[in-house]
Amino acid sequence: MPKPLPPSAQRVQDALDSAGLGLTVRELEQSTRTSAEAAEAVGCTVGQIVKSIIFRAKASDRVVLVLTSGANRVDEHKVAALLGEGLGKADADFVRERTGFVIGGVAPVGHREAPITFIDADLLSHDEIWAAAGTPNALFRLTPGDLQMLSQGRIADVKRA
């Protein structure tokens, strides 16, 4: 019998189940907190890891989620232009309070508060990608199409040149 998932990973699994895509959260022994750790853990490239970066919209205080390739860095100016307002840093307390996840385990689904979401266009070049699933040891495999459907994110150029 499989070990029960931690509550935050179970919230992700519940969101995945609700979507009906047959996606499954995998909890691993090793850390998947960084893109490199996650890629090594599942045997894929760093570019196939979906890095979840949370920002705080300066004027509206909204949660902004950028889902980017693990190989890329986010260009905050591009995201701010897409959003139509400035971005601020989201500290660990903001991330936990507003998303329900800890940094290193922020999933693209299952948030306490629906974020404004942008998806790195570079993720579309992969057939299979991996995203965090609520804890620094949990992730799930999906396609870029699944990611867009699940997150309701807008595909855009968000990477730093």
| pLDDT at 108 (0 to 100) | 98
| pLDDT at 159 (0 to 100) | 97
| pLDDT at 1 (0 to 100) | 64
Non-local (6+) Cβ contacts of 53 within 8 A are 65, 66, 67, 68, 74
Task: Indicate the pTM of the whole model.
Answer: 0.95
Residue with tokens 């950028």: 66
| pLDDT at 3 (0 to 100) | 82
Question: In CATH terms, is domain 7-156 a member of 3.40.30.160?
Answer: no
CA 154 to chain CA centroid, Å, is 13
Residue 43 tokens, joined? 């045997």
| pLDDT at 95 (0 to 100) | 97
| pLDDT at 5 (0 to 100) | 95
| pLDDT at 155 (0 to 100) | 98
Where do the domains of the chain lie? 7-156
The pLDDT averaged over each successive group of 10 residues in the chain (161 residues) is 88 97 95 92 97 97 98 98 96 97 95 97 98 96 98 97 89
| pLDDT at 33 (0 to 100) | 87
